[in-house]
Structure 1
Amino acid sequence: MTLRPIGILGGMGPEATILLQRKLVEAVPVSDDRDHIPLLIDMNPQVPSRIDHLIEGKGEDPGPTLAAMARRLQGAGAAALAMPCNTAHHYADAITDAVTVPLLNMVKLAADHAVSELGAGGCVGVLASPAVRRTRLFETALQARGLSIVWPTDSDRLLTAIRRIKVDGPSDDARETLRTASIALAKAGADLQLVACSEFSLIADGVADEVKAADTIDLLVHAIIEFSQIGYLSDAD
Structure 2
Amino acid sequence: MLGVLGGMGALATVDFLGKLVRSTPAMCDQDHIPMIVRFAPSIPDRTAAILEKGPDPLPGLREAAVSLEKAGATSIAIPCNTAHFWHPALQAQTSVPILHIADAVVDALPQHCFRNVRIGLLATSGTLSAGIYQERLARGGFVCRLPNEKRQTEIMRAIRFVKAGQLAASAVIMQEQLEDLLEGGCHYVVMACTEIPLALTSCGADYKRFLIDSTEALVGACLKLHLSRTAQQVY
TM-score scaled by length of structure 2? 0.91
Structure 2 residue runs without a partner (length 5+): none
Cα distance in 2 between the residues matched to 1:144 and 1:235: 34
1:161 maps to amino acid: A
**Partner residue of 1:159?**
156
Residue 75 of structure 2 corresponds to residue 80 of structure 1? yes
Kindly indicate whether the alpha-carbon contact (under 8 Å) linking 2:167 and 2:198 is maintained by their aligned counterparts in 1. no
Q: What SS does the corresponding residue of 2:134 show, helix, strand or coil? A: helix
The CA deviation at 1:96 is 0.4
Question: Is residue 2:138 matched to residue 1:140?
Answer: no
Unmatched runs of 5 consecutive residues or more in structure 1: none
Give the corresponding residue for 1:213. 211
Q: Given that residues 119 and 189 in structure 2 are in contact (C-alpha distance below 8 angstroms), is that contact kept between their aligned partners in structure 1?
A: yes
The list of structure 1 runs, each at least 4 consecutive aligned residues, that deviate by more than 4 angstroms after superposition, is 233-237
The residue identity in structure 1 corresponding to 2:181 is L
Give 1:122's aligned amino acid: V
- Taking a change above 3 Å as real, the CA distance of residues 229 and 182 of structure 1, as seen in their structure-2 partners, is same
1:225 aligns with 2:223: yes
Q: CA deviation at 1:33?
A: 1.2
- Determine if contact 2:47/2:127 at 8 Å carries over to the other structure: no
Offset from partner CA, 1:46-101 (integer Å, 9 cap, x none): 1111122123x222211122122111111111111100001111111121011112
Q: Which residue, 24, 30, 41 being the options, matches 1:28?
A: 24
- Percent of matched pairs sharing the same residue: 28
Tell me which of 92, 105, 109 is aligned to 2:100: 105
Q: Counterpart of 2:174?
A: 178
RMSD: 1.9
> Shift of the alpha carbon at 1:177?
1.1
Q: Which one-letter code corresponds to 1:28 in the other structure? A: T
Cα shift at 1:233: 5.2
User: TM-score, normalization: structure 1?
Assistant: 0.90
Shift of 1:235: 6.3
Instruction: Report SS of the residue matched to 1:21.
Output: helix
For residue 144 of structure 2, give the secondary structure of its aligned residue in structure 1. strand
Aligned residues: 231
